[in-house]
Structures are given as structure tokens and as C-alpha cells.
Amino acid sequence: MPVTVIVGEQRGDEGKGRFADMLADEHDIVARFNGGANAGHTVVLPDGRDFALHLLPSGIAHPHAVNVIGNGTVVDPIKLNIEIADASEKGVDIDEGNLMISSAAHLILPHHISLDELREVGSAKQGTTKSGIAPVYADKAMRSGVRMEVINNDIDRLVNIVASKIEETNEQRCAAGLDVIDVNEVTDRYITNAVLLGRFTTDTALYLNRRLKQGDRVLAEGAQAFLLDIDHGMYDAVTSSSTTVGGVMTGLGVSHQHIDRVIGVSKAVQSHVGGGPFATEITDEGVLERLHGRLDQVDSETGTTTGRKRRLGHLDLAAIKRAQMTNGTGEMVLTKLDWVSRYGETVLICTGYERKGKSLEVSPDAAYKIQQSTPQYTELPTWQQDISAIRDFGDLPPEAQRYVEFIEETVDVPVTMIGVGPRRDQVIVRT
Ligand code: GDP
């Protein structure tokens, strides 16, 4: 059974991208099933240069892999073309042979971005990346969206929609005191970019299923993470798409029968970007400074897309248990084990919550309940040794081994791979 799923099981930025990049070696196709360019994966190329991917799947730097942007995603043509150009500048050439975009993926139009901007200046402000993601998914649900298929099928319709929607949003912008958008200039630029993507657009569900029938292997790559899932996350501090295994089936058009491996990625440093409850959040400035790291380093705790400093906290296994329950996670990947000593001589791990006098082993299902909960911690000793060159689990300091084993025992899912540094080779694979 040939589909492997890789998903984030915390609040995003777990390091899914570099593991998806590593797993791409063993798969023929890497397919993104949800979200837009609001997330950011960082992969480090063999020559040491780092490479930020926002919508392009993580197989893009692998010559053997076909990359699919599935129907569950949303596409901003301008941003995607910038990403494609950036990749080619780094020596990664992209054409119809290694990139396909679903004709059913929805297009983020200029007015979607404007609607996000308008929301951010108003009282319903949510601290979004202003990428137009929520408005485009809202249009999809309203059945008034425009899909990639329009590019090859009816470009005049796209021109009309783009221009008329900008005119509409300009009225709202005037009322809100925002600059108006130049209709002709923005429409021209948008259409020029959309047309460039026409050659990649195809029926990716059919393509994927044909390849699966031939025995080829697909890596389904999720963006964002469990707690940001539109249904299962801490609504309303969530994203607008399905970030769980369920999103693979709807977002790629492949059956559950093909899925044989679900890998959940969690990071030893719990991080979060944006608003929302964070029960294990750390406020101690000294600890935060160590955990944020040097901002010029690839593995610092700042957003890949936003550059914002992430909120940081203690590892929350109660929340991870909920993610693993919903995803049916069979294997856990733990990243940033090399950062655990930054917490201090000991590290706290949240193993459950207490809410209204009751103990909870699994974190609650709503943001307000998380807010009312007190995390229950176990304290473990850390280690001071640099572990970034270690490749065998048995060579880790005993405290580091105990830390990993404690996690496995608590969540009852094996930790099969461990990140000990941001580079591709800085991984312990347990057999
Ligand atoms: P993604 O969106 O889940 O792919 O995660 P990001 O790429 O945004 O964030 C993960 C960050 O952690 C990146 O800066 C990676 O380079 C870094 N990273 C991932 N795994 C490790 C690890 O094991 N150790 C260290 N030090 N950094 C890591």
C-alpha cells in the first residue's frame, strides 16, 4: 500500500518539510493536499544552502520526484511563480515533468488578499498572514470560487472576475482608509502570472490514482498542523483547511485504502505563531532568549514566511495525543532534540491537563477549554553534550534517550526518527 502521509501534530513549524524532503527519496510523487503559501517549510540542500518552500511540495529538489499541488490547496499565482523562479535560481528546474497543479485547486484572487487586509484593520482582526487564505476558502464553501481550470478554459472570465472584484474591494478599502488597488496594473500582473501556470494544470486526482495503480509511491505532505485544523484545531485560532489525514483523501482524491503509513511530526520545542490559547507557554525572558536562538540561523524560532518571533512553550504530550488519535499516527518524528538543553538543567513535559477538578489525559476539544486548563508536568533532567553529530540512538546521552523513551511511553507511539540538527543528514533513524 503506497501512500505515506506526513503531518504536523502541534501548531505548525515542527520541521515537517525537512522530513518530507528526506522521505521524498523513497517516493515517486510528493503531493501537497491542503493550504496555501501561508506556511513555510525550510529544507536545506546538500550544498548547505537553505531553501524556503511555501506551496511547492518538498520533493521539488529531487530530480526523480513528481510534485503535485492537490485540489485541497489554494494557489496564489504570483507567489507560486516567485517560488518557481527562486527554485530555478538555486539550480532546481521546474516544468510539467516535475510539477502538476490540480485544475480543481482554488485561485487566490487579489481581492481575497484585500479582504484579509480589511479584516486586519477592523475589529474582527485575527493576526493572519494576509495571504487571502480564509477568504478564498470561504468562497470555495460559498460555491463562488474560481478554480485553476479557468486558466486554460476561459481566461476572459478570469480577467473579468479579477478586475470586477478589485473594483468592489476598492470601495471597501476607501471606506476603511486603505490605499486603493490599481485595477489595470494588478489585473495585468495577476493574469500574466496565472497564464504561466496553465501548463502545469491537470486532473491530478486521476494522475495520482493511475500512478498508484502502477505501484508507484506517493508522499502526501500536509501544511500547518493538527491544532490549526479547521475542524479539530483550537477554533477559531485555526487555518481554513484540513490539516489531518482526512484532508489527504479530500485534498488529493485518493482513497484511504491506499494509505499505509502515517507519520506525525512533533518538535521538542513547542512553538506557536499568532493568537490562540497556549497552555504550556513560557514567559521567562531568559529561557525564551535561549529557545529563540540566533535569528540569523536557519533553525531559529522565527516564522519562515512572516519572520515573526514564535511563541514558545513546554512540550505538550496531551495535545499530541489528541492529534495522534485523530490521525491514526503509526510513527512519530521528533525534531530539535538538539535544542532540549536550552530549556535549562531540567525540562518540563506536559503529560495531561487539569480542568474543573478533573484530570485529562488528552487535551480538550475547544480553545476555551484549553484556556481553562492547567497543564500537569513531569520534570526530566537534560544534558549538556552537543548531540548534533550523533546518528545512533545508543550514542545519545542517557538523559536524551530517557527523554525520547518517556515521550514514547506516554503517547504510546514509537519515535522512529529524531532530528538532531537542521541539516538533511542530522537525523537518527531508529530501526
Ligand atoms: P515545517 O513548516 O513543519 O516544515 O517547519 P519549519 O521548516 O518552518 O520549521 C522548522 C525549523 O526547525 C526550521 O528552521 C528547520 O531548519 C528547523 N529544524 C527542523 N528539524 C530540526 C532539528 O532536528 N534540529 C534543529 N536544530 N533544527 C531543526
Tell me: do 88 and 165 sit in the same domain: no
In this structure, the residue with its CA closest to atom 10 of ligand 1 is 15
Atom of ligand 1 nearest to the CA of 339: 26
CATH assignment of the domain containing 170: 1.10.300.10
Ramachandran region, residue 362 (left: φ > 0; alpha: ψ -120 to 50; beta: rest): beta
Tell me: do 424 and 300 sit in the same domain: yes
Chain position carrying cell 540566533: 294
Which three three-digit cell numbers place residue 109?
Answer: 484572487
Q: Is the CB of 112 under 6 A from ligand 1?
A: no
Segments in 242-391 forming alpha helices (H): 246-252, 285-292, 317-327, 367-371
**Is position 231 annotated as part of the catalytic site?**
no
Q: Which structural domain, as residue segments, surrounds residue 87?
A: 3-102+201-263
92-108 in b/e burial notation, b at 16+ Cβ within 10 A?
A: bebeeebbbbbbbbbbb
Q: Who's near 41: CB < 8 A, 6+ residues apart?
A: 16, 17, 18, 20, 21, 52, 53, 54, 58, 223, 304
Say what the alpha-carbon torsion angle 418, 421, 423, 427 is, to the nearest 10 degrees: -20
143-166 in b/e burial notation, b at 16+ Cβ within 10 A?
A: eebbbbbbbeeeeeebbebbbebb
Tell me: do 391 and 278 sit in the same domain: yes
Tell me: do 25 and 119 sit in the same domain: no
Q: Is the CB of 28 under 6 A from ligand 1?
A: no
Among 21, 28, 41, 258, which one carries the catalytic annotation?
Answer: 41
* Ligand 1 centroid – CA 42 distance (Å): 7
Helix, strand, coil tally for the chain in percent (to 5): 40, 20, 40
pTM of this prediction exceeds 0.85: yes
User: Which residues face 429 on adjacent strands?
Assistant: 417
Atom of ligand 1 nearest to the CA of 39: 2
Are 363 and 402 a contacting pair, CB within 8 Å? no
Tell me: do 314 and 243 sit in the same domain: no
Tell me: do 8 and 95 sit in the same domain: yes
Domain total of the chain: 3
CB neighbours of residue 389 within 10 Å: 11
Domain end, chosen from 196, 217, 233, is at 196
If one residue of 9, 19, 243, 299 were mutated to test the ligand 1 pocket, choosing by the most ligand atoms within 8 A of its CB, it would be 299
Tell me: do 96 and 24 sit in the same domain: yes
Among 13, 76, 139, 229, which one carries the catalytic annotation?
Answer: 13
Atom of ligand 1 nearest to the CA of 265: 3
CATH assignment of the domain containing 373: 3.90.170.10
Query: pLDDT tens digits, the chain, 431 residues: what are they?
Result: 599 999 999 998 899 988 998 999 999 999 999 999 976 776 667 777 777 889 999 999 899 999 999 999 999 999 999 999 999 988 889 999 999 999 999 999 999 999 999 988 877 777 777 899 999 999 999 999 999 999 999 999 999 999 999 999 999 999 999 999 999 999 999 999 999 999 999 999 999 999 999 999 999 999 999 999 999 999 999 999 999 999 999 999 999 999 999 999 999 999 998 889 999 999 999 999 999 998 888 889 986 656 778 999 999 999 999 999 999 999 999 999 999 999 999 999 999 999 999 999 999 999 999 999 999 999 999 999 999 999 999 999 999 999 999 999 999 999 999 999 988 889 999 97
In this structure, the residue with its CA closest to atom 6 of ligand 1 is 13
* Ligand 1 centroid – CA 295 distance (Å): 13
Tell me: do 418 and 302 sit in the same domain: yes
Tell me: do 209 and 94 sit in the same domain: yes
